Chains A and B, each alone.
Chain A
Amino acid sequence: MEQQIGLWVGAFLTMGIISFLYKDNPWYKLTEAIFVGISAGYWFVALFWDNIVGKFWIGVFDRGDYYLLVGAVLGLLMLMRLAPKIGWISRWPLSFVVGAISGFYLLNYFSSNVMLQVQSTIMPLFSPQFNDPLFTSSAGNIISNLFIAGGTFTGLVYFFFSKEHKGAFGGAAKIGIWVIMITFGASFGYTVMSRMSLLIGRMYFIFGEWLNLIG
């Protein structure tokens, strides 16, 4: 019985969301309000049990990880904005978060987005590996290597902001944006196909599980 109720509620809400394809209507508004309200409540409870209880309370009082108190104090400072006179204190934890995150990610992004990217781009163009005899790669691999090297080079040129895109530099930047757009096209097609599987899942729920029209 509970399962049947759940099924009907699920179908009602799914149809409500899909009804947005026609136009904004009361059914969609109701579904949207339920979705937003329930998800906000769910996340409040989830974050409370995960962070305040799971990480802070158990961490400090069960495991004795007293350094977590620093985070708790910063969290409390955030609440200072509720008192208008000392609301400015809430900027301290914000500054801490933004500063610490920027510093922390500087190294991570530099490693992954710069160093490793350059390492992958620098490769022998005409042989499978360094020290292999020249022109031992297949024609397909050589073209692929040239495309990767040229695409990365021209793509980088496009993101160069200090020089006007004119002349040969502008030509390279134009090739770069073409490479980027071709990549976007491929990515678009791939993602649309993967989204189709989500649609199929919902359609299966409606026509299979709810209406029993497909086996």
Chain B
Amino acid sequence: MIRLTIGNENPGCELFIIGTRGMVKLLNFIAPLLLCTVLAGFAVAQDVILPSETNIIDSAMVAPDGSLPLGISNLIVRDNPNDDGNSIWLVWDKSPDDDLGKITSYIILRAESREGEYSRVGDVTSGTTEFFDNSAVDGVEYYYKIAAVNSLHDNGQLQWEMQAQSDPAGPVKSSAQWFDMRRFNVFIGVIFLCSAILYFISKAKTGKELFIRKIAGLDSVDEAVGRATEMGRKIFYVPGISDMDNVQTIAGVTILGRVAQLAAEYETWIEVPVCKSLVMVTAKEIVKEAYVKAGRPDAFNDNQVHYLTDDQFGYAAAIDGMIVREKPATIFYMGSFYAESLIMAETGNAAGAIQIAGTGQASQLPFFVAACDYTLIGEELFAASAYLSKEPKLLGSLKGQDMGKAAILIFIILGLILESFNIFQMSNWFSVR
């Protein structure tokens, strides 16, 4: 059925609409016959699916002849796969008029029954053939229609609009999925990595010696603690400005355990100023345990680990003050750092302290390289705890990660060759959505 209606979107044209209502009634009677004839001719000529229902909305002026667009075809509606629910995926073949510039947009309409009242849930620009309705309620059945729209706006005012609606498609229900199958490659990668780590941990536990190359920055930890002991001065350990939800902070406080143990053995005062409460609690536990391991639990003082402020530059200002006043012999910066890195490292350098830094923040590493004696670059920070403690569990884990890196190197070489010579597009294996 083809219907001709007049909308009332422009309040200024109310009188005009009332005046022409009689004319419209007449048009409503004649137009179906005329439009049916024209559209049937089009359909036969172009071999396309006809819209089952067409709305013509005329707001201010009558649409010119031939403005009625052809509708979309092959509308498919499905539950959006690999999601946490409340989303339905719609895909369609665009209207043949889309390429001719006769489509301005597509309107997505939704109802809870096939013949029910369809309401607008979204719209997309011409040329689009996909839409995700993220306002669906899980378990509710929906029907969808797509209206191909041809309209004219003048200075933001709708002049006329013609819609060709598709047949309804459905029913469809949205639901949540347990697994996102698009990330199956990540699953395979993680399984491979974890298997390698577990294998090497079990190997290390059997007593097999695992080789780890020399890491200069870490070899200097003993030397740095020894220097503080000889000079009779403090050691400062700065675990960065991030909280315990940052793996760099976790790595930083893990290394703190080893440094604190050495300090306890050498009877040297180690001070850990922190800027996050959770880091303070964790660092206190670690330092306390290190003193117990060193056989000197009585030497541990609760004030060795203390809070300064959560504010980034307030923290930097306080540490600067502590460095110039207390003149520590050794300063460790291990964790996640931002703009305060150079402020602190430069002050430590000027104070003549031996400085060892380690961070995974690529943007801050240059400052540490420039101002510190030794710098652990990125992954070296994460390898540090294994290297220093020589614990089988950590060494096995480091070895397993190396196997992961070896696999990556092989994939990169293979992928570069295959893609460069147009044999196989291996990069798709690593695509993550």
Assembled-state Cα–Cα distance A114/B402 (Å)? 13
Contact with B along A96-114 (1 / 0, CB 8 A): 0110011001110111101
Q: Which residue from B314, B378, B411 sits with its C-beta under 8 Å from A39? A: B314
B183/A153 in contact, CB under 8 A: no
A164/B244 in contact, CB under 8 A: no
A123/B281 in contact, CB under 8 A: no
Instruction: Give residues 1-37 of A contacting B (CB, 8 Å).
Output: 17, 20, 23-24, 28-29, 31-32, 35-37
Residue of B nearest to A126 (CB): B420
B409/A156 in contact, CB under 8 A: yes
B309/A40 in contact, CB under 8 A: yes
Q: Which residues of B contact A55 (CB under 8 A)?
A: none
Interface-located stretch among B32-40, B51-59, B211-219, B261-269: B211-219
- Given A43-B309, A119-B431, A165-B213: A110 touches B318 (CB 8 Å cut-off): no
Assembled-state Cα–Cα distance A213/B416 (Å)? 60
Assembled-state Cα–Cα distance A59/B214 (Å)? 51
* A175 beta carbon closer than 8 Å to chain B: no
Q: Which residues of A contact B416 (CB under 8 A)?
A: 121-123, 125, 149
B309/A162 in contact, CB under 8 A: no
Q: Which residue from B244, B320, B431 sits with its C-beta under 8 Å from A97? A: B244
What distance in Å separates the Cβ of B2 from its nearest Cβ neighbour in chain A? Answer: 47
What distance in Å separates the Cβ of A153 from its nearest Cβ neighbour in chain B? Answer: 6
Q: Which residue from B404, B413, B427 sits with its C-beta under 8 Å from A123? A: B427
Interface size on B, residues (CB 8 A): 73
User: Chain B binding site: helix, strand, loop or mixed by DSSP?
Assistant: helix
B367/A188 in contact, CB under 8 A: yes
User: How many cross-chain pairs have Cβ atoms below 8 Å apart between A and B?
Assistant: 189
* B415 beta carbon closer than 8 Å to chain A: yes
A115/B186 in contact, CB under 8 A: yes
Instruction: Give residues 401-433 of B contacting A (CB, 8 Å).
Output: 402, 404-406, 408-409, 411-413, 415-416, 419-422, 425-428, 430-432
B422/A156 in contact, CB under 8 A: no
* B311 beta carbon closer than 8 Å to chain A: yes
* B325 beta carbon closer than 8 Å to chain A: yes
Assembled-state Cα–Cα distance A37/B318 (Å)? 10
Q: Which residues of A contact B307 (CB under 8 A)?
A: 40
Chain B residues with CB under 8 Å of chain A are: 183, 185-186, 189-190, 193, 210-215, 244-247, 250, 278, 281-282, 285, 307-311, 313-315, 317-318, 320-321, 324-325, 339, 362-363, 365-367, 369-370, 377-380, 383, 387, 398-399, 402, 404-406, 408-409, 411-413, 415-416, 419-422, 425-428, 430-432
What are 22 A-B interface contacts by the 8 Å CB criterion?
A24-B321, A32-B318, A36-B314, A43-B310, A94-B285, A101-B245, A118-B408, A119-B427, A121-B412, A122-B430, A123-B427, A130-B422, A132-B422, A152-B412, A159-B378, A160-B402, A160-B405, A161-B213, A161-B215, A162-B399, A163-B211, A180-B377
10 residue pairs, one from A and one from B, having the closest CB atoms: A122-B415, A39-B311, A39-B314, A43-B310, A188-B366, A119-B430, A184-B366, A40-B309, A122-B427, A162-B402
